[in-house]
Amino acid sequence: MREAAARFVRSVSEGDSARLTANAEVTPYALCFRVFLAHLLKRPDLLDAEACARQMRQSIREVRETQAEKPTGKPYRQLLTFTLSALSALGMLEEDPLEELVLEQLPLDVRQYLDDAGSLRGQAGAGNQAMFLAIFLLHAQRYLGQDCGPQVSEWVDLHLNSMNGRGFWSPRAGMTHLEFQNGYHQYEIFEYLDTALPALDASKQAVAHLADVEGHFAPYPGGGGCHDYDAVFVLTYGEQAPQGRIAKLLQLTARTLLGEQNEDGGFGESQRVRPWQLVGMLRHARHVFGAPTRDALIERGRYWLALSRPRNARIHTHWSRYSRRWNESDLWDTWFRMMAIARIDVAFAPERARHWGFIDYPGIGYHASLRHRELAAK
């Protein structure tokens, strides 16, 4: 499984660059994903670290130069945080921590930033923006000598004090896929900071109830790289080993994901969304009417209608101009599927953390086992 994934990474690598899929063009996002996968698999032979680091620094600065004012949108902030994390994974962040790009992102008012983004209300996409803010603050404190401790504490307190009874951020009465997929981003920061979550058990149960019969967690059949990993992250949060229903669910998810690796070694978003024929339509219908809450049923129904349209026969993202097929192998979904498998592996056998390359940097790819290694080294 790991060697097959490495084979896929090689197939979409091109010098010091990478393509999201075999049919896509070279992009800076894809290069970050290539670095993340090589690091997770502990395969430094999959890239030239120095060449990739130079290319990533150059790319993010070139993107910044195309924008007249301070960029605040998701595509730029996502690329910036990906680049920081990838440079950290390569061990090349300290020599050039992209100081000018990070400092301009620091807010004057943390509460205002979160309110404007809608992070404390669970607005779609706001979880990303909350995570970006925390990453910039933690980066500035660790690498740029900035005193951001009070702002980080405020970020944590504001989120903890605005949680609903399920441990997320949403005014809805019932749990939805959006609620945990959006809120997962704050959980990444909580794990990095070793934050105790008062509603963690409720969070895990709420997420577990959204699983389908295959152990997927998306609002459409076959799961998705983001939804499945985000759910696995929440279900494996904390020191306690999985037990009971959640343990069985994680084992089911792992078996399902292992069986969905494509022949080229990569993973796609979903093996179940297309083709849109009778079997697929019935599968979608069962998924919709199997929703555990009214809000989730409405959410799944909207996806059912949206995905039935021809324009959604392929996936469109800002990571590439190429629109990929739902089951087509790509670096992003391969990274997320492998991370989900890694987290489940370590949840049941903590000693196996040494076999995976988690990233010692706030945000996606971090794992609490890194903290234990640091303590053991002291």
In tens, the pLDDT along 38-51 reads: 999 999 999 999 99
Q: What is the CATH number of the domain that holds 344?
A: 1.50.10
Amino acid of residue 57: R
Q: Which range of residues forms the domain containing residue 359?
A: 2-377
Residue-by-residue DSSP string for 155-192: HHHHHHHT--TTSS----SS--HHHHHHHHHHHHHHHH
Whether 22 shows a pLDDT value over 50: the answer reads yes
Share of the chain above pLDDT 90, in %: 93
CA distance 354 to 346: 9
E strand or H helix at 323: strand 320-325
Q: What are phi and psi of 143, to 5 degrees?
A: -110, -20
Confidence (pLDDT) at 68: 77
| pLDDT tens by residue, 169-202 | 999 999 999 999 999 999 999 999 999 999 999 9
Q: What is the pLDDT of residue 281?
A: 83
Domain count, the chain: 1
Residue 4 clears pLDDT 70, i.e. is over it: yes
Residue that the structure tokens 């990838």 belong to:
86
User: What was the pLDDT predicted at 373?
Assistant: 66
Which pTM does this prediction carry?
0.95
Query: From CA 120, how far away is CA 77, in angstroms rounded?
Result: 19
Q: Specify the residue for token string 């076959």.
A: 222
Closest CA to 89 of 358, 355, 319: 358
| Residue predicted with more confidence, 278 or 50 | 50
Between strands 17-18 and 320-325, the pairing is: unpaired
Q: At what angle do helices 244-258 and 225-235 cross, to 10 degrees?
A: 150
